[in-house]
Amino acid sequence: MLVRKLIPLVLILLFTNGYSELKDDEWGTEELFDDIVVVSVNGKITHGDRYRLFFHHTSTKKCNLPQSYISFYSVAGNAKEKFEDLPSKSILTEINQSQKFLTQVVDISDFIAGMSVLLYVGINSVEQLIEHHKDNDEIKIELLAFYDQEDERILPVDIEEYFDIPRNTWSLNGFEEAVGAGKAECLSRVSSSNKEIKF
Protein backbone atom coordinates (compact mmCIF):
# COMPACT_ATOMS: atom_id res chain seq x y z
CA MET A 1 0.00 0.00 0.00
CA LEU A 2 1.32 3.44 -0.95
CA VAL A 3 0.85 5.02 2.46
CA ARG A 4 2.66 2.17 4.21
CA LYS A 5 5.60 2.66 1.87
CA LEU A 6 5.65 6.43 2.25
CA ILE A 7 5.98 7.10 5.97
CA PRO A 8 9.11 5.03 6.71
CA LEU A 9 10.86 6.47 3.68
CA VAL A 10 9.88 10.02 4.55
CA LEU A 11 11.18 9.65 8.08
CA ILE A 12 14.45 8.11 6.93
CA LEU A 13 14.97 10.88 4.41
CA LEU A 14 14.63 13.53 7.08
CA PHE A 15 18.04 12.46 8.36
CA THR A 16 19.75 11.50 5.12
CA ASN A 17 20.79 13.23 1.95
CA GLY A 18 17.41 12.59 0.39
CA TYR A 19 16.74 16.32 0.23
CA SER A 20 20.27 17.36 -0.66
CA GLU A 21 19.28 18.63 -4.12
CA LEU A 22 16.06 20.31 -2.99
CA LYS A 23 16.12 24.01 -2.21
CA ASP A 24 14.35 25.44 0.82
CA ASP A 25 10.99 27.04 0.06
CA GLU A 26 11.05 25.93 -3.57
CA TRP A 27 9.15 23.08 -5.19
CA GLY A 28 11.29 20.29 -6.58
CA THR A 29 11.35 16.58 -7.38
CA GLU A 30 11.97 13.98 -4.67
CA GLU A 31 13.31 10.52 -5.41
CA LEU A 32 11.09 8.38 -3.16
CA PHE A 33 9.61 5.62 -5.32
CA ASP A 34 10.22 3.86 -8.60
CA ASP A 35 6.54 3.83 -9.49
CA ILE A 36 5.55 7.36 -8.45
CA VAL A 37 6.88 10.78 -9.42
CA VAL A 38 6.88 13.08 -6.36
CA VAL A 39 7.19 16.86 -6.29
CA SER A 40 7.25 18.65 -2.95
CA VAL A 41 8.24 21.61 -0.84
CA ASN A 42 9.26 21.99 2.81
CA GLY A 43 7.08 23.65 5.41
CA LYS A 44 7.87 27.18 6.59
CA ILE A 45 6.66 26.72 10.17
CA THR A 46 7.67 23.09 10.65
CA HIS A 47 10.38 22.53 8.06
CA GLY A 48 10.14 18.74 7.88
CA ASP A 49 6.41 18.75 7.18
CA ARG A 50 6.28 18.66 3.41
CA TYR A 51 3.50 19.27 0.93
CA ARG A 52 3.69 16.52 -1.70
CA LEU A 53 2.08 15.76 -5.04
CA PHE A 54 2.16 12.14 -6.23
CA PHE A 55 2.00 11.40 -9.95
CA HIS A 56 1.20 7.72 -10.57
CA HIS A 57 2.57 6.69 -13.95
CA THR A 58 0.15 3.81 -14.52
CA SER A 59 -1.67 5.74 -17.26
CA THR A 60 -1.52 9.05 -19.11
CA LYS A 61 -4.77 10.07 -17.39
CA LYS A 62 -3.31 9.60 -13.91
CA CYS A 63 -0.30 11.71 -14.88
CA ASN A 64 -2.66 14.69 -15.02
CA LEU A 65 -4.33 13.88 -11.68
CA PRO A 66 -1.73 14.12 -8.91
CA GLN A 67 -2.73 13.24 -5.36
CA SER A 68 -1.94 15.80 -2.65
CA TYR A 69 -0.59 14.87 0.78
CA ILE A 70 0.70 16.89 3.72
CA SER A 71 2.50 15.75 6.84
CA PHE A 72 2.20 17.18 10.34
CA TYR A 73 4.59 16.48 13.21
CA SER A 74 3.14 16.59 16.72
CA VAL A 75 4.81 16.64 20.11
CA ALA A 76 1.59 17.18 22.06
CA GLY A 77 1.54 15.68 25.54
CA ASN A 78 0.96 11.90 25.52
CA ALA A 79 0.93 12.06 21.73
CA LYS A 80 1.45 8.33 21.24
CA GLU A 81 -1.54 7.39 23.37
CA LYS A 82 -3.73 10.07 21.82
CA PHE A 83 -2.96 9.12 18.24
CA GLU A 84 -3.71 5.47 18.95
CA ASP A 85 -7.31 6.51 19.61
CA LEU A 86 -8.19 9.52 17.47
CA PRO A 87 -11.69 11.02 17.81
CA SER A 88 -11.93 10.76 14.01
CA LYS A 89 -9.66 10.32 11.01
CA SER A 90 -11.45 13.18 9.25
CA ILE A 91 -10.19 16.67 10.01
CA LEU A 92 -11.89 19.93 9.08
CA THR A 93 -9.16 21.95 7.44
CA GLU A 94 -8.87 25.48 6.13
CA ILE A 95 -6.69 26.60 3.22
CA ASN A 96 -5.52 30.20 2.82
CA GLN A 97 -7.96 31.39 5.49
CA SER A 98 -10.86 31.02 3.07
CA GLN A 99 -11.85 27.55 1.90
CA LYS A 100 -12.75 24.74 4.29
CA PHE A 101 -12.57 21.07 3.37
CA LEU A 102 -11.88 17.66 4.91
CA THR A 103 -8.49 15.99 5.04
CA GLN A 104 -8.08 12.33 5.97
CA VAL A 105 -5.51 10.81 8.33
CA VAL A 106 -4.00 7.97 6.30
CA ASP A 107 -1.01 7.01 8.41
CA ILE A 108 0.62 7.72 11.76
CA SER A 109 4.19 6.89 12.80
CA ASP A 110 6.40 7.37 15.83
CA PHE A 111 9.03 9.99 15.10
CA ILE A 112 11.70 11.24 17.53
CA ALA A 113 9.78 12.58 20.55
CA GLY A 114 6.38 12.73 18.90
CA MET A 115 4.21 11.49 16.06
CA SER A 116 4.30 12.11 12.32
CA VAL A 117 0.87 12.18 10.70
CA LEU A 118 0.21 11.85 6.97
CA LEU A 119 -2.94 13.55 5.68
CA TYR A 120 -4.60 13.04 2.32
CA VAL A 121 -5.70 16.39 0.90
CA GLY A 122 -7.32 15.28 -2.34
CA ILE A 123 -6.89 14.79 -6.06
CA ASN A 124 -7.02 17.53 -8.69
CA SER A 125 -5.94 17.97 -12.26
CA VAL A 126 -2.70 19.80 -12.98
CA GLU A 127 -4.73 22.61 -14.57
CA GLN A 128 -6.95 22.96 -11.48
CA LEU A 129 -3.96 23.13 -9.15
CA ILE A 130 -2.18 25.78 -11.18
CA GLU A 131 -5.35 27.85 -11.58
CA HIS A 132 -6.21 27.59 -7.88
CA HIS A 133 -2.81 28.83 -6.72
CA LYS A 134 -1.93 31.27 -9.52
CA ASP A 135 -2.55 34.44 -7.47
CA ASN A 136 -0.94 33.17 -4.25
CA ASP A 137 2.62 33.26 -2.94
CA GLU A 138 2.11 30.42 -0.50
CA ILE A 139 -0.29 27.77 0.73
CA LYS A 140 -1.54 28.24 4.29
CA ILE A 141 -3.24 25.27 5.90
CA GLU A 142 -4.73 25.04 9.38
CA LEU A 143 -6.26 21.98 11.02
CA LEU A 144 -9.44 23.25 12.67
CA ALA A 145 -11.27 20.32 14.24
CA PHE A 146 -11.97 16.62 14.14
CA TYR A 147 -15.07 15.88 12.09
CA ASP A 148 -17.67 13.11 12.26
CA GLN A 149 -18.63 12.43 8.64
CA GLU A 150 -21.44 10.04 9.52
CA ASP A 151 -23.26 12.60 11.68
CA GLU A 152 -21.88 15.55 9.69
CA ARG A 153 -20.74 17.48 12.73
CA ILE A 154 -17.64 18.97 14.30
CA LEU A 155 -16.49 17.02 17.33
CA PRO A 156 -16.11 18.97 20.60
CA VAL A 157 -12.40 18.18 20.96
CA ASP A 158 -9.58 20.72 21.00
CA ILE A 159 -7.43 19.94 17.95
CA GLU A 160 -4.38 21.37 19.74
CA GLU A 161 -4.59 18.54 22.26
CA TYR A 162 -3.41 16.37 19.37
CA PHE A 163 -1.56 18.77 17.07
CA ASP A 164 0.45 21.24 19.14
CA ILE A 165 1.13 23.27 15.98
CA PRO A 166 -2.00 22.74 13.84
CA ARG A 167 -0.92 25.00 10.99
CA ASN A 168 1.80 25.28 8.40
CA THR A 169 2.70 27.35 5.37
CA TRP A 170 4.30 26.17 2.13
CA SER A 171 5.91 28.38 -0.49
CA LEU A 172 4.65 28.34 -4.07
CA ASN A 173 8.04 29.26 -5.52
CA GLY A 174 8.59 27.09 -8.57
CA PHE A 175 5.21 25.40 -8.14
CA GLU A 176 3.95 25.62 -11.72
CA GLU A 177 7.30 24.56 -13.14
CA ALA A 178 7.62 21.62 -10.74
CA VAL A 179 4.08 20.42 -11.39
CA GLY A 180 4.68 20.64 -15.13
CA ALA A 181 7.95 18.76 -14.78
CA GLY A 182 6.29 16.12 -12.60
CA LYS A 183 3.58 15.54 -15.19
CA ALA A 184 6.13 15.40 -18.01
CA GLU A 185 8.29 12.87 -16.15
CA CYS A 186 5.20 10.80 -15.36
CA LEU A 187 4.17 10.75 -19.02
CA SER A 188 7.71 9.83 -20.01
CA ARG A 189 7.61 6.82 -17.69
CA VAL A 190 4.21 5.75 -19.03
CA SER A 191 5.63 5.92 -22.55
CA SER A 192 8.71 3.92 -21.54
CA SER A 193 6.55 1.27 -19.85
CA ASN A 194 4.38 0.94 -22.95
CA LYS A 195 7.44 0.45 -25.12
CA GLU A 196 8.79 -2.24 -22.80
CA ILE A 197 5.64 -4.40 -23.03
CA LYS A 198 5.50 -4.31 -26.84
CA PHE A 199 6.85 -7.36 -28.64
pLDDT at position 125 is 98
Identify the sign of the CA torsion 165, 157, 114, 26. negative
pLDDT at position 166 is 98
Contact 26, 173 (CB under 8 A): yes
pLDDT at position 6 is 52
Q: Please, is 153 exposed, middle or buried when counting C-beta atoms within 10 Å of its C-beta (0-12, 13-18, 19+)?
A: exposed
| Banded model confidence at residue 192, pLDDT cuts 50, 70, 90 | confident
Pairing label, strands 153-154, 138-148: antiparallel
Average predicted confidence (pLDDT) for the chain: 89
- What is the pLDDT averaged over residues 65-78? 96
Tally of domains in the chain: 1
Query: Is 13 a residue whose pLDDT tops 50?
Result: no
Range(s) of the domain holding residue 173: 2-197
Question: What residues are paired with 52 via a beta bridge?
Answer: 40, 69
| Banded model confidence at residue 194, pLDDT cuts 50, 70, 90 | low
pLDDT at position 104 is 99
